[in-house]
C-alpha cells in the first residue's frame, strides 16, 4: 500500500435543527476540503464520534468517501469502548473505500498496556483495512506508551499512530519509533505541533482547525514539502494564533463547530449536551471573522 501522507482535516459532522445527520451538508464540507487539497478524517473527535450511533458512523464514512470521489483520501475513526464493537464497526466501514481507520484507546475502562496490546492486536487481526493507533489520553483516560506503540508497530496491519496527547514530548516519542521503521508513520494531532512533527518525520497531520482554516492547514504542509521554511513557519504561526484565540473559549471541538456554523450555518450546532452561551458565541464570532477563509 502506498504511504499515506499529507494534511487531513478532522471534519465536523453536520446536524440539522433536530440534531439529526445532515449528510448533504457533510458532502459539501468534504468537497470544500478536497478543493483546498486536504484529505478527510471522519467521525473523529471534531466529528463528535462520541455522540454518533453505529449506523450514523457508517453513514458518515460512506458519505465522505462518495463526496471525496477519489480526489483526496478518506480515513475513518472506528474506536469504541469494547473490542467486539470496534471490530464490528471496522468490518462495516472497511467495505466503503476508506484508505485506513484509526482506533482510539477504549474510554471508561482503565486499561493496562498489556490490555491495549491485546485490544489493538485483535482489531488489526480482524480487519483488512490498515489501522492507525489513536492516542488522546486526556479524553479517554488511557495512554499508549511509546514501548507499547513500538510493540504494535510490528503488526503487519498497524501502519502508524495519530498522536493527540498535546505535548511535544509525547509526539517526539512516537516519531522516534517511526524513524526506525519504514512501515510505521505518525500523524500529528495537535494543531500547534504540525510543523514540528513534519520537520521531524511525521507523514502528515489530522487537524480540527482545518475546518475553519483549510487553506492555512494545507499551506503548512505544502510549504514544508516545497522546502519553503519561511512560508511554512508563517502559516504555522497564523494557525497557532487561531488556536489560541478560539480554544480559549471552551471545549475545542465545540468551538470549531460553532466558528464554522457562524460562517456556514448548514453544518448546524454541536449535539447536546454541548452548549455555547451567548457570551461565548459572540467571542467565537469575533475569532471567526478574524480568521475565516473564503473556501465555500
**Predicted local confidence at residue 290, as pLDDT:** 85
Section 134-151 average pLDDT? 97
Handedness of CA 211, 253, 272, 54 (dihedral sign): positive
- Using DSSP, state whether 273 is helix, strand or coil: coil
C-beta of residue 40 within 8 angstroms of C-beta of residue 9: yes
Q: Is the pLDDT of residue 283 over 60?
A: yes
- Using DSSP, state whether 21 is helix, strand or coil: strand
Section 196-211 average pLDDT? 97
Q: Is the pLDDT of residue 136 over 80?
A: yes
Percent of the chain with pLDDT over 90: 96
Cα dihedral 47, 106, 54, 296, rounded to 10, equals 10
**Predicted local confidence at residue 27, as pLDDT:** 98
Q: Is the pLDDT of residue 227 over 80?
A: yes
Q: Is the pLDDT of residue 172 over 80?
A: yes
What CA–CA distance (Å, rounded) separates 59 from 62? 5
Section 2-31 average pLDDT? 97
Q: Is the pLDDT of residue 119 over 60?
A: yes
Q: Nearest-CA neighbor of 202 among 179, 226, 183?
A: 179
pTM listed for this prediction:
0.96
Q: Which band of pLDDT confidence, cut at 50, 70 and 90, is reported for residue 117?
A: very high
Q: Is the pLDDT of residue 296 over 70?
A: no
**Cα→Cα distances 103→4, 151, 163, 229, 284, Å:** 16, 16, 11, 33, 31
Name the residue with cell 458512523: 57
Q: Which band of pLDDT confidence, cut at 50, 70 and 90, is reported for residue 42?
A: very high
Q: Which band of pLDDT confidence, cut at 50, 70 and 90, is reported for residue 294?
A: low
Q: Which band of pLDDT confidence, cut at 50, 70 and 90, is reported for residue 2?
A: confident
- Per the DSSP assignment, residues forming a β-bridge with 288 are none
Q: Where are the alpha helices (DSSP H) in 110-145?
A: 113-126, 137-140
What CA–CA distance (Å, rounded) separates 28 from 230? 32
Angle of helix 54-68 relative to helix 83-93, nearest 10 degrees, comes to 30
What CA–CA distance (Å, rounded) separates 236 from 218? 10
Cell of 166: 498535546
pLDDT, greater one: 295 or 98: 98
DSSP 174: H
What CA–CA distance (Å, rounded) separates 293 from 276? 22
Q: Which band of pLDDT confidence, cut at 50, 70 and 90, is reported for residue 25?
A: very high
Q: DSSP strand E in the chain: where?
A: 6-10, 39-42, 74-77, 100-104, 131-135, 158-163, 185-188, 204-207
Q: Which band of pLDDT confidence, cut at 50, 70 and 90, is reported for residue 288?
A: confident
**Residues classed as catalytic:** 134, 162
Digit-coded pLDDT (tens) for 54-100: 999 999 999 999 999 999 999 999 999 999 999 999 999 999 999 99
C-beta of residue 253 within 8 angstroms of C-beta of residue 227: no
**What does pLDDT average to over the chain?**
96
Amino acid at each position: 500500500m502506498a504511504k499515506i501522507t499529507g494534511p487531513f482535516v478532522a471534519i465536523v459532522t453536520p446536524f440539522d435543527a433536530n440534531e439529526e445527520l445532515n449528510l448533504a451538508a457533510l458532502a459539501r464540507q468534504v468537497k470544500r476540503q478536497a478543493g483546498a487539497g486536504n484529505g478527510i478524517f471522519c467521525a473523529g473527535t471534531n466529528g463528535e464520534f462520541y455522540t454518533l450511533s453505529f449506523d450514523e458512523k457508517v453513514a458518515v464514512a460512506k458519505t465522505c468517501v462518495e463526496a471525496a470521489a477519489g480526489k483526496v483520501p478518506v480515513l475513518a475513526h472506528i474506536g469504541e469502548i469494547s473490542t467486539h464493537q470496534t471490530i464490528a464497526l471496522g468490518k462495516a466501514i472497511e467495505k466503503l473505500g476508506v484508505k485506513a481507520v484509526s482506533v482510539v484507546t477504549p474510554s471508561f475502562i482503565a486499561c493496562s498496556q498489556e490490555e491495549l496490546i491485546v485490544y489493538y492486536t485483535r482489531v488489526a487481526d480482524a480487519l483488512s483495512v490498515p489501522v492507525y493507533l489513536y492516542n488522546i489520553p486526556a479524553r479517554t483516560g488511557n495512554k499508549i506508551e511509546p514501548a507499547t506503540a513500538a510493540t504494535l508497530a510490528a503488526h503487519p496491519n498497524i501502519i502508524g499512530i495519530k498522536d493527540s496527547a498535546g505535548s511535544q514530548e509525547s509526539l517526539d516519542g512516537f516519531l522516534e519509533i517511526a524513524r526506525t521503521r519504514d512501515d510505521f508513520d505518525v500523524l500529528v494531532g495537535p494543531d500547534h505541533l504540525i510543523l514540528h512533527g513534519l520537520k521531524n518525520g511525521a507523514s502528515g497531520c489530522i487537524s480540527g482547525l482545518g475546518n475553519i482554516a483549510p487553506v492555512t492547514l494545507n499551506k503548512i504542509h505544502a510549504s514544508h514539502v516545497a522546502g519553503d521554511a519561511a512560508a511554512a513557519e508563517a502559516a504555522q504561526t497564523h494557525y497557532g494564533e487561531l488556536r489560541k484565540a478560539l480554544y480559549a473559549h471552551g471545549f475545542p471541538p465545540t468551538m470549531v463547530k460553532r466558528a464554522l456554523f457562524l460562517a456556514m450555518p448548514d453544518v448546524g450546532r454541536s449535539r447536546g449536551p454541548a452548549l455555547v452561551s451567548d457570551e461565548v458565541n459572540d467571542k467565537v464570532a469575533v475569532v471567526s471573522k478574524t480568521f475565516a477563509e473564503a473556501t465555500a
